[in-house]
Amino acid sequence: MPFVIAVPKEMTEGEKRVATVPEVVMKLTKSGHEVRIEHDAGMSAYYPDNLFSAAGATIAFSRADLLNGANIVLCVQPPTVADVDQIAEGAIIIGFMNPARNPEAVIRMRDRKVTAFALELVPRITRAQSMDALSSQATAAGYSAAILGSAHCPKFLPMLTTAAGTIRPATVLILGAGVAGLMAIATAKRLGAVVEAYDVRRAAGEQVRSLGAKFLELEINAEGQGGYARELTPEEKVQEQQMVSEAVARADIVITTAAIPGRRAPLLITKETVAMMRPGAVIVDLAAESGGNCELTRPGKTVQEHGITILGPQNLPAQVPFHSSQMFAKNLQSFLSLLFDKDGAPVREFSDEILAASLLVYAGEVRHGPTRDLLSGVKS
């Protein structure tokens, strides 16, 4: 059964990504689906309308024409209430939903009996790797963070031997060796810096060393469920803070990536530690949107303190929209394959473990427990 798949233009300020790309559109249309792309939806990611048309998509010149009769809507950012109002009952929306920050949209999807899958809820299991949009976008964020840090650093990153003398390489410190951190390590190494990294998960040390970076050792194992770190005890935090402060003080660029799902980002760099850093040093705080790993971080702002530049970037994947859109589109393509059986017919029950875990709203009910609990205190 062919579906009508709609891809709207992202309206969030600063969002340059698009939920699909011509390569994926071509595969969807060859499978018999109708794909609609809103006019200029891919322009900011450098995928103009003519590329989508050549791949078999129909260009919709209004939001109403795009969404009217659509069975599946693919998005990067959560849908707005106005968009949900234009989507037919029973239609499926797939994308990042961020329900804690968008309760009104979740409530409207529930009331209109729209089915919503949240990509951030896709379980991190082997079978779901090709659908793991959090990881693909974290890869883009880690790369962008290293480039951003080098652009603000007043030093060369690599060692140079010149007629004017030898230039020593810059030192880059990565705090948090998840997907974003590992990509930041790899990028900083390619730029020629001396790279150090720290993560409370000792298992991350092998990955850090495989990229040619030095792993800072602390006798703490804070590995939690799902590949994330657990919160440290008060005693562990004191030990961590001392070691991290010493490493921060000698670094030219610090990139922080530490996050705890659903909670405020852990504080790793205090204002006192910032005061100990070398003049001209740079902090790139990837946890800015969830409170920041640095005490002086301001989300979306660049702060100067004691001669230190502190960057609180938001939505770094949107800074490399061409490739981050490409990866996101392929994540969605893999996810869509779960919605059809081997004969190409739509599945009637979302019993697959990946679909069940990522199902946010279905048949007038919020299926995700934490979101349901959150909404219990929100007036509908």
- pLDDT score of 242: 86
Q: Are residues 187 and 302 in the same domain?
A: yes
Number of structural domains, the chain? 2
379 in a structural domain: no
- pLDDT score of 263: 81
Q: Are residues 259 and 141 in the same domain?
A: yes
State the catalytic residue, choosing from 86, 135, 136, 324.
135
Is 129 assigned a catalytic role? yes
326 in a structural domain: yes
Residues of the chain with pLDDT > 90, as a percent, come to 83
Q: Are residues 258 and 284 in the same domain?
A: yes
Residues of the chain with pLDDT > 70, as a percent, come to 95
Q: Are residues 160 and 281 in the same domain?
A: yes
The model's confidence at residue 234, banded by pLDDT at 50, 70 and 90, is: confident
Angle of CA points 68, 71, 77, to nearest 5°: 85
- pLDDT score of 202: 82
Q: Are residues 81 and 150 in the same domain?
A: no
Is 228 assigned a catalytic role? yes
380 in a structural domain: no
Tens of pLDDT, residue by residue over 96-113, are 999 988 999 999 999 999
Point out the domain boundary residue: 300, 319, 338.
319
Q: Are residues 167 and 183 in the same domain?
A: yes
Which pTM value belongs to this model? 0.92
Full residue range of the structural domain in which residue 41 is found: 4-131+321-372
Backbone CA torsion sign across 350, 352, 356, 358 = negative
| Residue 135 in this model has a pLDDT that exceeds 60 | yes
Q: Where are the beta strands (DSSP E) in 257-294?
A: 282-285
- pLDDT score of 341: 85
192 in a structural domain: yes
Q: Are residues 78 and 222 in the same domain?
A: no
Q: Are residues 172 and 297 in the same domain?
A: yes
Q: Go through 180-209 and write b for each residue having 16 or more CB atoms within 10 A of its CB, e for each that does not.
A: bbbbbbbbbbebbbbbbbbbbbeebbebbe
Point out the domain boundary residue: 319, 342, 361.
319
Mean pLDDT within 304-315 = 96
Is 124 assigned a catalytic role? yes
State the catalytic residue, choosing from 83, 132, 252, 285.
132
**Helices in 31-80 by DSSP H: which ranges?**
49-54, 63-67
Task: Name the DSSP letter for residue 352.
Answer: S
Q: Are residues 241 and 283 in the same domain?
A: yes
75 in a structural domain: yes
How crowded is the C-beta side of 8, counted as CA atoms within 13 Å? Answer: 28
- pLDDT score of 223: 67
Q: Are residues 184 and 309 in the same domain?
A: yes
| Residue 221 in this model has a pLDDT that exceeds 80 | no
State the catalytic residue, choosing from 40, 49, 63, 124.
124
How many other β-carbons are positioned within 10 Å of the β-carbon of residue 289?
18
378 in a structural domain: no
State the catalytic residue, choosing from 31, 46, 85, 129.
129
Q: Are residues 55 and 68 in the same domain?
A: yes
297 in a structural domain: yes
Mean pLDDT within 362-369 = 95
State the catalytic residue, choosing from 40, 53, 63, 228.
228
Is 132 assigned a catalytic role? yes
Point out the domain boundary residue: 275, 292, 319.
319
For all residues of the chain together, what is the average pLDDT?
A: 93
181 in a structural domain: yes
Tens of pLDDT, residue by residue over 189-211, are 999 999 999 998 888 999 999 99
- pLDDT score of 379: 61
CATH number for position 49: 3.40.50.720
Q: Are residues 176 and 36 in the same domain?
A: no
